[in-house]
């Protein structure tokens, strides 16, 4: 889709973020009487136009290439509709502009589709729904009983602050979450004792909440990392000789590393404590007489593990690249249990050492795949 | 017990929650002079009547079917009594209605019997009682010493706020829990230094508290999940050939999934990264010419793991169903160590492929049990 | 030391706690002009007398029995001195009584010697000192830079609240810890932006702090539990046939349970999902014609694991008892790898089933040791 | 570099900290009109002079010894420049002294280079950047939508506090972080309901944040400890007979312990539950007739594990020493799987017992290396 690339750039990434930030700042400015100016309104209309254009482009692309799932009717589509339609509707309905443009705050929901980790968080909340609900029930019980107690204790003395249960509930929420506005403060001994207990319960509830989310996050994170790394390991030809159990074991040892274009992976002369497999992307090994490029599936950096020698060449990525890193300790542990792989690796290293004397620890894709 | 089902519905689930919410809102409204109206009182009496009727029904059912443990005298019974008896007693004792009905706040305790995870939280607090007590002692020590210090530093300057130790204790509680009402704020250099230390200690105490609860929760959660999953694994006939160690190992790999009626488990044409065992409930595989139903003990979705092919049929639950999910990576790791099971699974898959050409990856209970 | 037992009771446990609570409440009352009464002073003197008597008793006992380490000069001794000496000294030095008695707040430090987990917390803080110090340095850097920024932004507008750096630091501490008294609130755009950043940093600092303590606690807790359980496992004669690796493995599976006197361990007729080893203490199996007592080193409850039958007798502790619990799943996993132990256990079970037909799953110490 | 040692002492450690503290206190005093005195300015100039001298010394040393990486142009160099240059520049530019000296607050950044754990924290934030960004996006979405809702609900009633969106955003930040200054408090039912939701979201956001940081910290900490310990294990000659897998396994069991000079490692007569390997430094075993010194690579304390006897000699470090500690339980688990090592260890112990009868469990470096 080369003819669409300029449009792609236009509707994605930095331009979109910039439009979003400008739009939201302009919306905030609209609510300040002193700042409300014609050019603020103009900026808002430009942002709205941008989002409408983005929708149109996405719709056209979707129909053009027939890719699935289709854009129209997808979740993304409805998010986009929510950004474009409400403000004009509100203006047509006769709302004053400074109120109508407040609906532009829905634009911030576009962030949710850009950030990758939201589905992870959603999944954790889904998986841990039961214990989270339990903690929430404890929260509600403490809230209501504390409100009743403080209403009874403080109501007679401060009727305008604790005289009704809803007022007491408001106090209880601000106290149990340890926000503590200080607009309503108990003054009797009983009221303050209840308040102290509520604060301590607040810490406890919060601790449980954090504990549940921390546990859920740790479990889900570990699982996702494993699945993603496993998939990448299966793409490295050199590791195809491993049996299923060996792949699992190696997957547990490898660490995924996403690098931008032109990142330095290893620097000549530095000590080396790991080797690298290229899962996707490409790197350039800066050796004389001319640099060598390694594609996905290759590996490099194994000399440092076999000999303990410093890095013999600087390696730089030429495009966004995903590497799998194997630490020296894991390397020894793994090769101790898989002597075949160790022998093969040393054979490769020996072969490469001979002809590319200066090039350092390199194997090109073709070699590795044999 | 078909003749009791309407009553069952009446006293459980959504109706009960609705009554609870209405009752509590009405109770809160009673305390607001402007809202206090005859129909609010009527609503409260209806809710009370509902809870009394629920008690009567449970008592009758309990005696009818002679199930054990009996309802009368159980913890649940006493919770229910606490919801029904206190308000009338208070009214008889002559309390004004807006005070007497505050006892209806005890209704919220009914939530505690509905939510499943409370026993888990109780157990964590029981198991971690020692370290939690230690943190509480640190809390008390910091609280008292800080109160004394601030009482000495601020007492002369602000006698109405720090002039007595109880007043200083109140300040220390609000500060150590980082609630910070701001009703009493130290003004001297010494007082503010102590306050700063107290706040930092507050963060530390809170961190320890959270750490203890998080650790306890992670341990207990892992344990419970394992026991529940283990029990379900033993119900799948296909896995009966495994030895005890194999069952343990597989249990660690499986993830339990509770699905509501009519949930889509897999969708035709999507990529498949796991297979499923039905622990309880039933699913419908939507194949031509007519759908196939799979009962508890069956498994499905293994084709995607053996071939890497996309799902060949959509599978939907027909009632609340518990599935055990085995990821592709765990599948390979496990079958690598249990070649017998792998062979059996492939044999099953081959057999099913032949006659149910279109039906996708299905095995019915009878097949699996052979 | 039977002749000393009444004294032991006198200086330990509940009496001591009661004296401590009374003393601290009386001390607080001393600072309230309206409550200051001769009998309050009397109560304080009685408490002081109690602590002095306790010291005297401990000193006598220590010299009497020549136990090591000696009490005099120990840490405990100095804590006790700190509770007895300062108040009289302050009174002699001429301080007014309401000030002098504030030193009685040192009595709360006695709690630190009673609570068992404080050394654990101390150890965690020691082990994680480096990362905790790093977080503290971040805290200090954010604190100072934020103070300077807010001092510059808000100083001209609110000189009495942000006019000097110490005032700005006070604001920064209350904000970074999210206490938020509200006594000093920035009002300019720059000041509020800095404040927002400081609050978010506060959450981050707190999160790191909690993460470090949670990790440290989890590691140390696991380690301590393992060591304590290992020691108990080596006391069970039945397990002496296991090799070192087996003991380690079993230790990882067992859960320690400390029970008070007369606690019900299992109840007749309930489903059984674990078996028990008695590490210390004694239990009574309530069988006909007369109950059987099992001492430390015995085990019980294994019938439920071998047969899946419900518990055949109720078991109650006769004194404070420590049990090691083995879950059904761990039981199967372990016996699968140690068939000898499984055979021995079944042999024991068969032998016991014959003569003690009604007694349930019991083995007495003598049997187990064979 | 003996001739440089006095300078080394001068520019490092305690002197530097003292200068830093004095400088920062003086800077704070400068901003208080009552404290501003000529000698405060003098103190600040002395501190500035000290930091300039430190830079000069470091530059000279760097060129003198030609060590790499060079100081000039390094990160450390630029931090140091930031401490020396800005204040004079500001004074030359004509700022009043009390403003110019505020730039001395940059001195606190020197702490960042001294504290060892900051790179760890940086790495965690780097590794967990995606989920942290997700939580931050949730934070922003809740912040903006809550601001708009509260602006609409409270704006008409409290225009000076919620009348514009920036004002509402300020309220939302203080509430979502649970800081709760209380300078702006919603008063309508809708506003307070939104506020309650925001506070609960605040706890949730905070919990996720903490969970992510805790998980990241635990993973990275475990990894670093393993790598550092592995490196130390390879330095102990006695363990060279182990294969790679054995070294990995042992590394997981050992705990690193950094001790200052003259620390007591074991005390004669105490029970022993671990043995020690000296990774670096030196210890002195206090035996008759004269103490024995053990260098790096030696081990001691194994008698207590082999015999269960109490420690037979006190061992003290003679310089900063790093020990690797092996617990009794891990010792048994490891020797059960590596009988060769166990035999060798016992042989060593027997040999040492004979000639150094009184010296306790000692082996010198030469013995161990054989």
Instruction: Tell me the domain boundaries of chain A.
Output: 2-115, 129-221, 240-369
Partner-chain contact C332 B203, CB within 8 Å:
no
For the cut 70, the answer to whether the pLDDT of residue A369 exceeds it is no
Q: Which of B21, B213, B228 to mutate to test the interface with A (most CBs of A within 10 A)?
A: B213
Residues of D in contact with B181 (CB under 8 A): 182
For the cut 80, the answer to whether the pLDDT of residue B209 exceeds it is yes
Per-residue pLDDT of C12-34, as tens digits, reads: 667 888 899 999 999 999 888 88
Q: Residue B155: closest CA among chain C residues belongs to which residue?
A: C31
Residues of D in contact with C151 (CB under 8 A): 31, 102
What is the pLDDT at residue A4? 45
Q: Which residues 6+ apart lie within 8 Å of D25 measured at CB?
A: none
What is the pLDDT at residue A55? 86
According to DSSP H, which parts of chain C are helical? 5-11, 14-30, 38-65, 75-84, 86-92, 97-100, 110-114, 118-127, 129-154, 159-162, 165-176, 189-233, 244-253, 302-307, 328-337, 339-353, 365-369
For the cut 90, the answer to whether the pLDDT of residue A298 exceeds it is no
Q: Which residues 6+ apart lie within 8 Å of B326 measured at CB?
A: B250, B253, B254, B274, B275, B276, B277, B334
Structure tokens given for B202:
């507050």
Residues of A in contact with C179 (CB under 8 A): 180
Whether the CB of C173 is below 8 Å from some CB of chain D: the reply is: no
Structure tokens given for D63:
């060129």
Q: Which residue has the higher pLDDT, C241 or D96?
A: D96
For the cut 50, the answer to whether the pLDDT of residue B59 exceeds it is yes
Residues of A in contact with C181 (CB under 8 A): 182
How close is the nearest chain B Cα to the Cα of C275, in Å? 15
Alpha-carbon torsion angle B4, B5, B7, B8, nearest 10: 110
Could you say which residues from 206 to 235 on chain C have a Cβ atom under 8 Å away from some Cβ of chain A?
210-211, 214
Residue A117's nearest CA partner among D208, D177, D218, B257 is D208
State the count of interchain CB pairs (< 8 A) between B and D: 9
Partner-chain contact A243 B336, CB within 8 Å:
yes
How close is the nearest chain B Cα to the Cα of D325, in Å? 25
CB C293 within 8 A of CB C325: no
H helix or E strand, kind and range, residue D276: strand D274-280
Among A99-103, A106-110, C181-185, D342-346, the least confident range: D342-346
Residues of B in contact with D215 (CB under 8 A): none
Residue D11 CA from chain centroid, whole number: 21
Partner-chain contact C230 D273, CB within 8 Å:
no
What is the pLDDT at residue C54? 86
Between the two ends of chain D, the Cα-to-Cα distance in Å is 35
Q: Which CATH architecture has domain B2-115?
A: Up-down Bundle (1.20)
Helix, strand, or coil (residue B13): coil
Chains touching chain B, criterion 3+ CB pairs below 8 Å: A, C, D
CB A148 within 8 A of CB B108: no
Per-residue pLDDT of A181-218, as tens digits, reads: 888 999 999 999 999 999 988 888 888 888 888 878 87
The CA distance from C313 to C294, in Å, is 13
Structure tokens given for B252:
């660690």
- Name the residue among A180, A210, A214 with its Cβ closest to that of C180: A180
Among A38-47, C128-137, C175-184, the least confident range: C128-137
Partner-chain contact A227 B174, CB within 8 Å:
no
Based on C-alpha coordinates, what's the Rg of chain D?
30
The CA distance from B194 to A14, in Å, is 48
Structure tokens given for A140:
């509600």
How close is the nearest chain D Cα to the Cα of C133, in Å? 7
Above pLDDT 70, what percent of chain A? 87
Partner-chain contact C131 D332, CB within 8 Å:
no
- Name the residue among D180, D210, D214 with its Cβ closest to that of B180: D180
Helix, strand, or coil (residue B248): helix
Chains touching chain D, criterion 3+ CB pairs below 8 Å: A, B, C
List Cα–Cα distances, B269 to A119, B285, D174, in angstroms: 22, 14, 49
The CA distance from B108 to B14, in Å, is 15
Residues of C in contact with D99 (CB under 8 A): 152
Residue A112's nearest CA partner among A125, A104, A102, A122 is A122
The listed range with the strongest mean pLDDT (A243-252, A255-264, A286-295, C169-178) is C169-178
B275, β-bridge pairs: B326
Per-residue pLDDT of C243-295, as tens digits, reads: 766 777 788 788 777 777 888 888 887 777 788 888 888 999 888 778 888 88
The CB density around residue D92, as the number of other CB atoms within 10 Å, is 9
State the count of interchain CB pairs (< 8 A) between C and D: 143
A284, β-bridge pairs: A293, A316
Whether the CB of C179 is below 8 Å from some CB of chain D: the reply is: yes
Partner-chain contact D102 C151, CB within 8 Å:
yes
Residue with structure tokens 């032109």? Answer: A262
The CB density around residue B270, as the number of other CB atoms within 10 Å, is 11
State the count of interchain CB pairs (< 8 A) between B and C: 144
Q: Which residues 6+ apart lie within 8 Å of A350 measured at CB?
A: none
Q: How confident is the model at residue A66 (pLDDT cuts 50, 70, 90)?
A: low
Per-residue pLDDT of B327-366, as tens digits, reads: 777 787 788 778 888 888 888 778 776 654 444 444 444 3
Complex-level ipTM: 0.78
Q: Which of C177, C192, C196, C230 to mutate to test the interface with D (most CBs of D within 10 A)?
A: C196
CB D135 within 8 A of CB A121: yes
H helix or E strand, kind and range, residue C60: helix C38-65
What is the pLDDT at residue A338? 80
Whether the CB of A63 is below 8 Å from some CB of chain C: the reply is: no
Per-residue burial over D332-347, b = 16 or more CB atoms within 10 Å of its CB, e = otherwise: bbbbeebeebbeebee
Sign of CA dihedral C68, C72, C73, C78: positive
Residues of C in contact with A180 (CB under 8 A): 179-180
Q: Is B274 exposed, middle or buried (0-12, 13-18, 19+ CB in 10 A)?
A: buried
The CA distance from A206 to A187, in Å, is 26
Residue B74's nearest CA partner among B85, B57, B62 is B62
Partner-chain contact D115 C133, CB within 8 Å:
yes
The CB density around residue C87, as the number of other CB atoms within 10 Å, is 24
Partner-chain contact B28 A207, CB within 8 Å:
no
The CA distance from C332 to B230, in Å, is 11
What is the pLDDT at residue C366? 37
Q: How confident is the model at residue C63 (pLDDT cuts 50, 70, 90)?
A: low
Per-residue pLDDT of A22-34, as tens digits, reads: 999 999 998 888 8
CB A226 within 8 A of CB B329: yes
What is the pLDDT at residue C143? 92
Whether the CB of C181 is below 8 Å from some CB of chain D: the reply is: yes
Q: What is the mean pLDDT of chain C?
A: 80
Q: What is the mean pLDDT of chain B?
A: 80
Structure tokens given for B348:
């099953």
Within 13 Å of residue B262, how many CA atoms lie on the same side as its CB? 0
The CA distance from D274 to D324, in Å, is 10
Partner-chain contact D111 C137, CB within 8 Å:
yes
For the cut 90, the answer to whether the pLDDT of residue B90 exceeds it is yes
Within 13 Å of residue C134, how many CA atoms lie on the same side as its CB? 16
Per-residue pLDDT of C323-333, as tens digits, reads: 888 877 778 77
According to DSSP H, which parts of C101-188 are helical? 110-114, 118-127, 129-154, 159-162, 165-176
Candidates 1.20.210.10, 1.10.287.70, 1.10.10.1150, 3.40.1050.10; correct CATH number of A129-221?
1.10.287.70
Between the two ends of chain A, the Cα-to-Cα distance in Å is 34
CB B214 within 8 A of CB A211: yes
| B240-369: CATH class | mainly beta
- Residues of chain D short of pLDDT 70, as ranges, are 1-13, 63-69, 114-118, 244-245, 353-370
């Amino acid at each position: 889709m080369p003819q669409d690339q300029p449009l792609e750039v236009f509707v994605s990434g930095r331009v979109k973020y910039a439009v979003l930030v400008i739009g939201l700042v302009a919306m905030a400015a609209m609510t300040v009487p002193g700042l409300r100016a014609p050019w603020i309104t103009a900026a808002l209309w430009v942002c709205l136009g941008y989002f409408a254009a983005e929708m149109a482009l996405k719709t056209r692309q979707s129909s053009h290439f027939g890719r699935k799932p289709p854009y129209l009717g997808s979740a993304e589509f409805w998010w986009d509709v929510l950004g474009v339609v409400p403000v004009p509707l509100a203006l047509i309905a006769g709302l004053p502009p400074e109120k109508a443009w407040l609906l532009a705050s829905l634009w911030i929901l576009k962030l949710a589709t850009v950030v990758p980790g939201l589905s992870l968080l959603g999944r954790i909340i889904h998986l841990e729904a039961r214990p989270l609900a339990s903690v929430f029930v404890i929260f509600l019980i403490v809230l209501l009983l504390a409100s009743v107690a403080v209403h009874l204790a403080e109501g007679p003395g401060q009727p305008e602050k604790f005289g009704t249960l809803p007022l007491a509930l408001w106090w209880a929420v601000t106290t149990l979450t340890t926000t503590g506005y200080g607009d309503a403060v108990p003054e009797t001994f009983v009221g303050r004792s209840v308040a102290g207990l509520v604060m301590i319960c607040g810490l406890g509830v919060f601790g449980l909440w954090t504990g549940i989310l921390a546990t859920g996050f740790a479990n889900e994170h570990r699982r996702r990392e494993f699945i993603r790394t496993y998939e990448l390991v299966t793409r490295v030809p050199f590791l195809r000789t491993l049996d299923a159990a060996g792949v699992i074991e190696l997957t547990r040892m490898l660490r995924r590393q996403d690098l931008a274009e032109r990142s330095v992976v290893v620097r000549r002369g530095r000590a080396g404590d790991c080797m690298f497999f290229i899962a996707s992307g490409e790197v350039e090994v800066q050796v004389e007489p001319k640099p060598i490029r390694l594609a996905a599936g290759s590996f490099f950096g194994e000399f440092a593990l076999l000999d303990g020698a410093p890095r013999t060449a600087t390696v730089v990525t030429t495009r966004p690249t995903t590497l799998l890193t194997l630490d020296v300790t894991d390397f020894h542990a793994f090769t101790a249990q898989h002597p075949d792989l160790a022998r093969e690796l040393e054979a490769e290293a020996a072969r490469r050492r001979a002809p590319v004397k200066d090039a350092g620890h390199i194997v090109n894709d073709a070699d590795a795949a044999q």
